[in-house]
Amino acid sequence: MRVLHITFSDSGGAGTAALRLHKGLLANGITSKLLVLEKRTDSTGVFEYPKMNKYFILCLRVLKKLGLPLTLEHRNDNLYKSFEGNFEYFSFAKTSFVDLPNHPLVVEADVINLHWIPNFVDYATFFEKVGKPIVWTQHDMNAFQGGFHYKQDDLRNDHLAKYNNEQYQCKLKALAKVDSKNLTVVSPSKWMYNEAKNSQILGKFPHLHIPNGLDPAIFNYKDDAGFKQKLGLDNKKLTVLFISETVKSIRKGFNHIVDLVNDEFIASRCEFIAVGSIKNAEKVKGITYLGNISSEQQISEIYNAADVYLLPSKEDNLPNVMVESLASGTPVVAFNIGGIKDLVENGVTGYLSDDLTTAGLKKALENLMANYQLINRKEISDRIGAKYSMAAQARAYTDVYMEAVNETILV
């Protein structure tokens, strides 16, 4: 069984999830490879899609800056930069990578596992030409929407309806040609499963719910109070952790964190720490910034140092940070939305707020503080680490691959 994963990059939320699945499959004896447009790790079995000559790329970039974009990607990028509105991201269904189905790794594979493919896979040609059974993991809603990646961005930006609909119609036309037996949709959260299954674009295909996995040998409860001391944290305060590259995203709700940091009552009882390459101009007084950390072992130690992970997303699938935090035994405070409610149970693994406001999040945090002695971090870690391991994920996906290949052969 030869599995090829295709995703934009081997880093970031979706890239990390795809990479962990790839590693889990390798550990289970499955021949797995990962093909990306942008390679950012040195992981075994990850291959970067061939790039053009660097001098030619430089020439194209100069022409793009002069207002003379020659590639589809540069034309799309210029169009994207002209968009005004409040949204996280907008991607295009048509790309110049029309030869992707002919790539040697695609040709040799028995099954293709697509992940986060915006601005890489060309919808108009890939699904028609690939000729392989496909498993498609949904990391956000973009596969069954237009250019936007989450529903609220779509609803907030009606003025971009023309461009959004162009992407939607391209995807709808491309997927309409695919036999329902040749593509299986996998969603990491129950919420995403229902959204994808009820969509016009992906609704006709079989759907499965398989959560993302991680390595419980890395993300686990370490029961060592020394981690707080190592980071110079205040033992008399509740350490509140969040991880982000920006504080501007509406969907990720980091404005609520800023509000809580500036809340006199919360600030007197909590110490906020942040991981990520946050720009100096975006840094907020009252938060200790630990910088960008790539080591999973070090991140796990930071989860252990924290007393709670604060996750204020207003739309989310199954965030890696949530699974990592819980596998490390650190309870989560969040809004009761999307895939977050799959894992966060009030009084057991954290607290949720039905009210999507700062006041609601504050109340959930206060509930955690008041009942912290009832939280068993070791039990949280054991529970999540076993159920959401890479090994369990790999076994579930292997069954999907086998069925997809056998179904295609029978057809």
Tens-place pLDDT, residues 297-322: 999 999 999 999 999 999 999 999 99
> At residue 411, does pLDDT exceed 50?
no
Task: Indicate the range of 126-140, 148-162, 238-252 predicted with least confidence.
Answer: 238-252
Supply the pLDDT for residue 56: 46
Tokens standing for 102?
Answer: 């002919």
How far apart CA 219 and CA 299 sit, in angstroms, is 9
**How much is the pLDDT for 81?**
87
What one-character DSSP code corresponds to residue 13? H
| pLDDT value of residue 282 | 85
In 3D space, the residue among 154, 167, 166 whose CA is nearest the CA of residue 85 turns out to be 154
Instruction: Give mean pLDDT, residues 160-169.
Output: 98
pTM of the model: 0.93
| pLDDT of 70 | 59
Q: Give me 206's structure tokens.
A: 């079989």
- pLDDT surpassing 60 at residue 57: no
Percent of the chain predicted with pLDDT > 90: 83
Closest CA to 197 of 188, 189, 206, 87: 206
Q: DSSP alpha helices (H): ranges in 307-389? A: 320-327, 358-370, 377-387
Taking 60 as the threshold, does the pLDDT of residue 330 lie above it?
yes
Structural domains of the chain, ranges and CATH numbers in brackets: 2-213+389-410 (3.40.50.2000), 226-387 (3.40.50.2000)
**Nearest in space to 91 (alpha carbons), one of 44, 140, 42, 49:** 140
236 Cβ neighbours under 8 A, 6+ residues apart = none
Element (H, E) at 165: helix 161-176
Q: Which amino acid is at 362?
A: K
The pLDDT score that the predictor gives to residue 58 is 61
